[in-house]
Amino acid sequence: MGLTITEKILANHIKEGKPEKGKEIGIKIDQTLTQDATGTMAYLQFEAMNVPKVKTELSVSYVDHNTVQIGFENADDHRYLKTIAAKYGIMYSRAGNGICHQVHLERFGKPGKTLLGSDSHTPTGGGIGMLAIGAGGLDVAVAMAGGPFYITYPKVIKINLMGKLRPWVSAKDVILKVLEIFTVKGNVGTVFEYGGEGVKTLSVPDRATITNMGAECGVTTSVFPSDEITKEFLKTQGRESDWITLSADEDAIYDKIVDINLSDLEPLAATPHSPGNIKKVRELKGIDVDQVCIGSCTNSSYTDLMTVAYILKDKKTYQNVSFVVAPGSKQVFENITINGGFSELLSSGARFAESACGFCIGNSQSPQSAGVSLRTSNRNFEGRSGTKDAQVYLVSPETAAAAVITGKFTDPRDLEKLGIKYPKIAMPKKFYVDDSMFITPLKDGKTVKIYRGPNIGEPPRSTPMPELITGVVTIKVGDKITTDHIIPAGARMKYRSNVPKYSEFVFEMIDPKFHERAKKIQQTGKQNIIVAGVSYGQGSSREHAAICPMYLGVKAVIAKSMERIHKANLVNFGIIPLTFKNEKDYDMIDQNDELEIPDVHSFLKKGKTMIVRNKTKDKQFEVTYDLSEREKQILLSGGTLNFMGKKE
Ligand code: MIC
Ligand code: SF4
């Protein structure tokens, strides 16, 4: 029987468990990446594991999220990360070198390898044929210490690409189409594997744009074959020797095959406030635009920026538009400069931001009140831009460029009427490469002294799971609550290394009083319980969406359904993830209801369901849990760090 690409890579990496769909397996991780916002906590946890050096083939620590440096916190964290990297054998990518996913694709991604990253967009690496997965920082720390990474053996859906994109339609439109088909929920435990003739028409940056935003569908990862195009890309980076050929067997069996004809696609946009709200750009025609931001790990490559530069050649930014460009990496920045793109963009009126996450995470360039912002990034959750009532649309670089010229939502194909031809940008034969912003770790880092600024605290630990959870529903939220809702990034992100301070902002956007209420309940000795609708914990891998609630005494989340990374993070920090057996029971719970979950240990050991008593309503209902034996043990021990301590 033939194998899919996913099955081939997994077969080479499986360490525990059997390749049976839906069952937990442990895989060997070849490479890891962290970024600073999740990395500080990940390395604090790694330190607690007492391992002298990372055990992976390659681990890279990127600084790209918290680079605004208002106050001492960011810079102190950077210095901590730098000393950790030197001591433990980790490659350090300094602030200014670029966004982790873009840089990793350029300099380190290798087809056929596994990559685990403490960032949900790690699947960007799937564009080069890696099995690249996003996870919480603690899971990445475990992988750096040589432990396996656990996933559910996935279903594999083939996305069969046919035809060829027409001018003005690009990779972003392909992934927006995928989002229209699969939506942002219900895809947990699945890998999207791209195949078909159309694959040959897409460059590695195109493919990476597509795999990057697979994260928005909630899949485990997305992967493209490694072919001649992959080889060409590696050549441009002087890394041809990293190439291997990798494709699915002709007779590979997929759980489902979905056809997309690239020739039929047209410019699309994700409308506020979800990457899954897809509309055709022509349906949005004429909406006034206040801001256009080009960049982020989704669309900040050389070809993206050069395309925009050529569209804007001799044009000026419309006077009501603020036009921001953040090249994805120093390499992109340098190469668009060498090839004239930088000066074109500058002369058109672009405001250049540093090669970092910046606007995408809302720690700069927040739009005006109720402003319409067109962005080439991947998430448009409410408030993520830093302006709660901003209307953020996700679009291709071509659609973004059209709005820069006209000041309105414009189908980029209409630019032809203005005499603008579609620029087909080729990649240079060889990129100008300067790796001086990396710091290679010392061979022996034993004597390196770790720097810890005042912002860095001890990583908090959870407590063992009680036999009886006596709790209060501290908050009841609706469907599709993202980790941005649970714990905001943006201006608050600088407190990532300081959990007591950061915890003050849990659910800030939905209910700023949550923190006070949770603290009060915690002081009475009761547990806090979160009740939620479908797809709870969408979006980022940020484990603070579990750590901070844990710190405030949350012991259980009861939801209609939950997203993969967030669920794993809850387990890692000793919070039990439960789902309603009967979704209707959600309706009979209110905030402040007193709940009791008895016999937790015996239920966890025996069965698949638990009873929850609603003391306030004098009713009871059943909840289920989908937890492996390992996860149950972790919960009983009070989180992964306690569990690992016990095993030793
Ligand atoms: C994001 O895009 O939401 C982030 C910020 O990159 C997060 C990581 C974080 O919160 O630090 C992610 O995608 O995992
Ligand atoms: Fe950075 Fe945005 Fe990419 Fe997250 S999605 S890694 S914040 S650029």
Average confidence (pLDDT) over 175-195:
96
Res 247: pLDDT: 98
Residue 273 has pLDDT above 90, yes or no: yes
Which residue among 38, 122, 494 is best mutated to probe the pocket of ligand 1, counting the most ligand atoms within 8 A of its Cβ? Answer: 38
Q: Whose alpha carbon is nearest atom 5 of ligand 1?
A: 361
**pLDDT tens, 263-272?**
999 999 999 9
Average confidence (pLDDT) over 382-392:
97
Which residue among 120, 298, 385 is best mutated to probe the pocket of ligand 1, counting the most ligand atoms within 8 A of its Cβ? Answer: 120
CA distance 372 to 365: 13
- Which atom number of ligand 1 is nearest to the Cα of residue 489? 10
**pLDDT tens, 586-605?**
999 999 999 999 999 999 98
197: helix, coil or strand? helix
For the CA atoms of 635, 636, 642, 646, what is the dihedral angle to 10 degrees? Answer: -130
The answer to whether the CB of 118 falls within 8 A of the CB of 42 is yes
**Residues at CB less than 6 angstroms from ligand 2:** 65, 99, 119, 121, 296-297, 357, 360-361, 377-378
CA distance 648 to 635: 17
Res 460: pLDDT: 87
Alpha-carbon separation of residue 212 from 84, 205, 229 (angstroms): 28, 10, 18
Peptide bond into 273 cis (omega under 30): yes
Q: Whose alpha carbon is nearest atom 1 of ligand 2?
A: 357
CA of 361 from ligand 1 middle (Å) equals: 8
The answer to whether the CB of 47 falls within 8 A of the CB of 177 is no
Average confidence (pLDDT) over 239-268:
98
Q: Which domains does the chain have, with CATH numbers?
A: 5-264 (3.30.499.10), 268-418 (3.30.499.10), 469-647 (3.20.19.10)
**pLDDT tens, 570-587?**
999 999 999 999 999 999
Residue 315 has pLDDT above 90, yes or no: yes
Ligand 1 site, residue 496, Cβ cutoff 6 A? no
Helix (H) or strand (E) holding 103: helix 100-107
The band of 511, judged by pLDDT with boundaries at 50, 70 and 90, is very high
CA distance 412 to 26: 46
Res 607: pLDDT: 80
Ligand 1 site, residue 542, Cβ cutoff 6 A? yes
**pLDDT tens, 338-365?**
999 999 999 999 999 999 999 999 999 9
Residue 647 has pLDDT above 80, yes or no: no
CA distance 207 to 234: 14
The ligand that comes nearest to the alpha carbon of residue 377 is 2
Ligand 1 site, residue 121, Cβ cutoff 6 A? yes
CA distance 92 to 559: 39
CA of 222 from ligand 2 middle (Å) equals: 17
**pLDDT tens, 593-641?**
999 999 999 999 888 899 999 999 999 999 999 999 999 999 999 999 9
Q: What are phi and psi of 20, to 5 degrees?
A: -115, 125
Express as a percent the part of the chain with pLDDT over 70.
Answer: 100
Residue 542 has pLDDT above 60, yes or no: yes
Res 457: pLDDT: 84
Pair of tokens at residue 451: 């720097």
262: helix, coil or strand? helix
CA of 296 from ligand 2 middle (Å) equals: 6
Ligand 1 site, residue 65, Cβ cutoff 6 A? yes
384: helix, coil or strand? coil
CA of 543 from ligand 1 middle (Å) equals: 10
Is 436 exposed, middle or buried (CB count within 10 Å of its CB: 0-12, 13-18, 19+)? exposed
Q: Which residue has the higher pLDDT, 443 or 545?
A: 545
By C-alpha distance, which of 509, 506, 504, 499 is closest to 545? 506
CA of 545 from ligand 1 middle (Å) equals: 11
SS (H, E, C) 495-551: HCCCHHHHHHHCCCCCCCCHHHHHHHHHHCCCEEEEEECCCECECCCCCHHHHHHHH
Q: Which of 193-202, 456-465, 491-500 has the highest mean predicted lDDT (pLDDT)?
A: 193-202
Q: Whose alpha carbon is nearest atom 1 of ligand 1?
A: 540
CA of 281 from ligand 2 middle (Å) equals: 24
The band of 646, judged by pLDDT with boundaries at 50, 70 and 90, is low
Ligand 1 site, residue 297, Cβ cutoff 6 A? no
Beta strand pairing call for 291-294 and 268-270: unpaired
Where would I find the H helices in 215-329?
228-236, 281-284, 302-311
Which residue among 64, 297, 540, 565 is best mutated to probe the pocket of ligand 1, counting the most ligand atoms within 8 A of its Cβ? Answer: 540
Average confidence score pLDDT of the chain: 97
CA of 64 from ligand 2 middle (Å) equals: 9
CA distance 215 to 202: 19
**pLDDT tens, 108-164?**
999 999 999 999 999 999 999 999 999 999 999 999 999 999 999 999 999 999 999
User: What is the phi-psi region of residue 422: left when phi exceeds 0, alpha when psi lies from -120 to 50, beta otherwise?
Assistant: beta
Length of the chain equals 648
CA of 376 from ligand 2 middle (Å) equals: 11
By C-alpha distance, which of 451, 424, 462, 542 is closest to 139? 542
- Which atom number of ligand 2 is nearest to the Cα of residue 378? 5
Express as a percent the part of the chain with pLDDT over 90.
Answer: 97
Q: What is the DSSP string of 432-452?
A: ----TTEEPPPS--TTPPPP-
Name the amino acid, one letter, at 270.
A
**Tokens 């090669």 label which residue?**
355
Res 1: pLDDT: 84
